[in-house]
Amino acid sequence: MKKKLTRSMVAAFLLLSGLTSLVTATQQQIHQGSILGSITACESGLPLVKGTITIGNVTAEISNGTFKMENVPVGKQELIINGSFRKKVYTTINIEPGKNNLNLSIEPVFSQEEIDMLAKITRAEAEGESKTGKIAVAATILNRVHSKHYPTTITAVVYQCINGKYQYSPVLDGRINLSPRTIDYQAAYQALAGSDPSLGATGFFNAAKTQDQWVRSHPVTVTIGRHTFFRY
């Protein structure tokens, strides 16, 4: 009799536990949502290569313009987006129970004049290079903007003069004044969206045209076409 009673009590306990788990899962479904989203650069429509997005107390990585989030509290939540060369986004959105879709386009930190300058230096320094080579050159300019060793704007980086020497020869010979073409803007836009074939380089040189020991004294990141890229 005692054994039957014990078995009945165990069965009741398991049933109660199952019901509790079901109720808890149902409550989570009611009070939490999931999000599939995309983030693009507003100046080009290209996917943002990397960054982070935070909604409420949940943070996810942005990878090639997409992100996924689970267990986000429903209701009004603060949204924060951080991305390369992007203005930081602060806003409030409403999360519904279940699946949510979120597609955003965010602005660059640079003005159109600065973007034009990036396209100009890309043409001047990478004319004749592959698409990847052009993007890499544009990326090194942006990497300098982020580096403590260089000025904080694209134009200032391009026109920087140290000990009477311009950092980029097109500034001296006038090629910087050539109008950028569609392919130059495309490369600049790719770099602005976070693409960096230079692997974090802050400079480059053509080994066949220069014997400068300073540029050769720093760690090489990659060689693309005629350019050797280095980090300082």
Q: Which residue has the higher pLDDT, 208 or 82?
A: 82
Instruction: Determine the pLDDT at residue 213.
Output: 87
Binning pLDDT at 50, 70 and 90, where does residue 84 land?
Answer: confident
Instruction: Determine the pLDDT at residue 17.
Output: 52
Binning pLDDT at 50, 70 and 90, where does residue 175 land?
Answer: very high
Instruction: Determine the pLDDT at residue 173.
Output: 95
Letter for the amino acid at 82?
N
Instruction: Determine the pLDDT at residue 31.
Output: 73
* pLDDT at position 219 over 60: yes
Instruction: Determine the pLDDT at residue 6.
Output: 55
Superfamily (CATH) of domain 32-109: Carboxypeptidase-like, regulatory domain (2.60.40.1120)
pLDDT tens readout for residues 145-161: 999 999 999 999 999 99
In 86-217, which ranges are E strands? 89-95, 98-106, 161-162, 165-166, 203-206
Instruction: Determine the pLDDT at residue 65.
Output: 97
Within the chain, all domains assigned CATH 1.10.10.2520 are found at 112-230
- Residue range 46-64: average pLDDT? 96
Q: Average pLDDT of the chain?
A: 89
Within the chain, all domains assigned CATH 2.60.40.1120 are found at 32-109
Superfamily (CATH) of domain 112-230: Cell wall hydrolase SleB, domain 1 (1.10.10.2520)
Binning pLDDT at 50, 70 and 90, where does residue 208 land?
Answer: confident
Cα separation of 125 and 180, whole Å? Answer: 11
* pLDDT at position 23 over 80: no
Binning pLDDT at 50, 70 and 90, where does residue 21 land?
Answer: very low
Cβ atoms 188, 118 nearer than 8 A: yes
Instruction: Determine the pLDDT at residue 46.
Output: 98
Binning pLDDT at 50, 70 and 90, where does residue 26 land?
Answer: very low
* 199 CB-near residues (< 8 Å, 6+ apart): 221, 222, 229
Cα separation of 169 and 176, whole Å? Answer: 9
